[in-house]
Chain A
Amino acid sequence: MINKKLSLVAIAGATLLALSACAGGGGGDAGTTAPVEESPEFEAGTTMAELAEAGSITIGTKFDQPLFGLVGPSGEPEGFDVEIGKIIAGKLGIAPENIEWKETVSANREPFIQNGEVDIVIATYTINDERKEVVSFAGPYYMAGQSILVLADNDDITNEDDLVGQPVCSVTGSTPAAKLAEIGAVPMLTDTYSNCLEPLRSGAVVAVSTDNVILAGLAAQNEGEFKVVGEPFTQEPYGIGLAHDDTDFRMWINDVLEESYEDGSYEQAWNDTAGEILPFVEPPAVDRY
């Protein structure tokens, strides 16, 4: 361990000298503090070795989720999921610029993992047993829960029981939408959460329901108009999706996650992104199954 650290320092020094000639400013990305390992070593034949060798990784994420995965005009996604991805890539020795981000909509997360279109998926991806049959999950790295967003002066709705029989907006094919149907609300479905706000304003729906972090992001973008009510009424553990049989990779990612909990990079990632709106909470224990 110590030898590794010394040699790392030596290599780091040499690389820095070499890079200083060509490197510009660097570190211009908003919130990128994920350190990049210089020459990580992995067992031959593991996915980690392949990725480190290739020097690039393809990560699937959402491009339209406030706070977690959002794409602006720069074309680079920003958000908490993105930061977690950068931490993992960093441990593989891959700099943020060499991460290829692909948009994974809810329906294509599993097919993309299965056919190798992406290496991992970090996209507010809820872990559940049915999905575990098709892909495997590292983490969970965050525990969200389904909650309710209403107009700021609506005091009639305080918890999920008040939604029964009422039209509630969510996204087609998502887990929260299925949950709404289950509790007896009337789901009104569209493509993006942002599209749910207009029906809420016009009264066509009484509430928007999805994971609490997304709702918080929506509320923050439209100050004062909406509020999140009630306690989360489900548990949505967000995990990192990867190939079903790649146990080595999964365990390694779990190690990386636990390290980031310890060394503060997780908290840093949170504070740089979602932390501007939501308070930091201790991460859940990873599930090594």
Chain B
Amino acid sequence: MKGAAVLFDVPGPKARRLSLVLSVVVGLLILTGLGWLIATLAAPRPASGGLALPGMFDESRWDIFFGDPEIWGYIFGVGVANTLRAAAAAAVLALILGVLFSLLRTAKAGWIRIPTAIVLEFVRGMPVLLMMFFILLGFATGSYLAVVIALGLYNGALIGEALRAGLVSLPRGQREAALSLGMRELQSRAFIEFPQAFRQMLPIIVAQLIVLLKDTSLGYIVGYPELIRVTMNQLGSFYGNRYLFSFFIVTLVIYLAMNLLLSWFARWVARRGDSGRRGGRAAKPEETDPGLAVLKASAEARQVPQIHQ
């Protein structure tokens, strides 16, 4: 709840002290847990054949990262580069398809609207993994195209849905004004309605693009050399199982860095977009669940006839 404080009485000194004590205690517990985790991982394990496997943070598991600078070139030059490449291409495709789908879905003619709706349900209901596999094997494209097309289609459908909700939630006056100026339906859509819908739904669209970046990792199933496949499959097989955990940590850190950077960028964009507008109409930045935001916009739209009567 915004202002959940209204539900509580303002905490007095005793309550505040209790809260502080609990905070410290819980904090210590969490740190102990983390410490145990790291200690257990770092401990050597007995293995068959009378060997002892070194701990996970032992130098022998990390030496290639320092000794073999070529590795970083491969990880970033191939793995990260391919991930970003596919994500960018799929993002562009998703945006184009999103516009297309929203146009088709809001078309006047039923024979356009209904088949589109069915196709979109199909695309949204299928796992992206399966779609990639399907495109790779069914249409025998390369792995790059399979990843880009599958991601573009799937996210295009979602973005299309968001744009549709944005269109629907615009005040009707905008369209009426455009038509009264003599614009045709398509012109009104293109120059008046879409730009506003886009701006309104921008935070959601950017959030969906971040999900798209994460989902490029699913490309491993079609053999696309994105980051996870490059580090954990290829290099993991090349250097041996001993380095698997190290590769996992490296991959995790890189992904976290990429995604967090993008999230912060998205939030910055959202804040910039909002600052020049009146409140109210724009989707709030914390509404990062696309489904929920679309829902709210649709719901708001249904209120419109009553309010603007």
B240 within 8 A of A: yes
Q: Which B18-56 residues sit within 8 Å CB-CB of chain A? A: 45, 47-51, 53
Contact A153 B49 (CB under 8 A): yes
Contact B48 A152 (CB under 8 A): yes
Interface string of B79-107 (1 = CB under 8 A from A): 00000000000000000000000000000
B236 within 8 A of A: yes
Contact A222 B140 (CB under 8 A): no
Q: Can you name 5 A-B pairs with beta carbons within 8 Å?
A: A70-B237, A108-B137, A193-B237, A194-B244, A198-B241
Q: Which 7 A-B pairs have the closest CB atoms?
A: A152-B49, A115-B140, A151-B48, A73-B74, A64-B237, A111-B140, A221-B240
Interface residues of B (CB under 8 A from A): 45, 47-51, 53, 68, 70-71, 73-74, 78, 133, 136-137, 140, 142-143, 220-223, 225, 232-242, 244
Which of A63, A112, A225 interacts with B234 by CB under 8 Å? A63
CB distance from A59 to the nearest CB of B (A): 14
Chain A residues near B53 (CB-CB < 8 A): 201, 225
Given A221-B240, A222-B241, A225-B48, A73:B71 Cβ within 8 A:
yes
Chain A residues near B238 (CB-CB < 8 A): 64, 70-73
**Contacts A151-B47, A152-B48, A201-B45 supplied; 16 other A-B pairs, CB < 8 Å:** A63-B225, A70-B237, A70-B238, A72-B238, A73-B74, A73-B235, A74-B74, A107-B133, A107-B136, A117-B142, A152-B50, A153-B48, A153-B49, A192-B232, A198-B241, A225-B47
Residue on B nearest A114 in the bound complex, by CB: B140
Chain B residues near A103 (CB-CB < 8 A): 143, 223, 225
Contact B241 A154 (CB under 8 A): no
Contact B225 A72 (CB under 8 A): no
Chain A residues near B244 (CB-CB < 8 A): 194-195, 198
A66 within 8 A of B: yes
Q: Tell me the dominant secondary structure on chain B's binding face.
A: helix
A147 within 8 A of B: no
Residue on A nearest B77 in the bound complex, by CB: A75
Interface residues of A (CB under 8 A from B): 63-66, 70-75, 102-105, 107-108, 111-112, 114-115, 117, 151-154, 191-195, 197-198, 201, 218, 221-222, 224-227
Given A74-B70, A115-B140, A153-B48, A108:B222 Cβ within 8 A:
yes
CA distance A201 to B45 in the complex (A): 10
Chain A residues near B233 (CB-CB < 8 A): 63-64, 191-192, 194
Contact A194 B48 (CB under 8 A): no
Contact A117 B223 (CB under 8 A): no
Chain A residues near B47 (CB-CB < 8 A): 151, 201, 225
Residue on B nearest A172 in the bound complex, by CB: B221
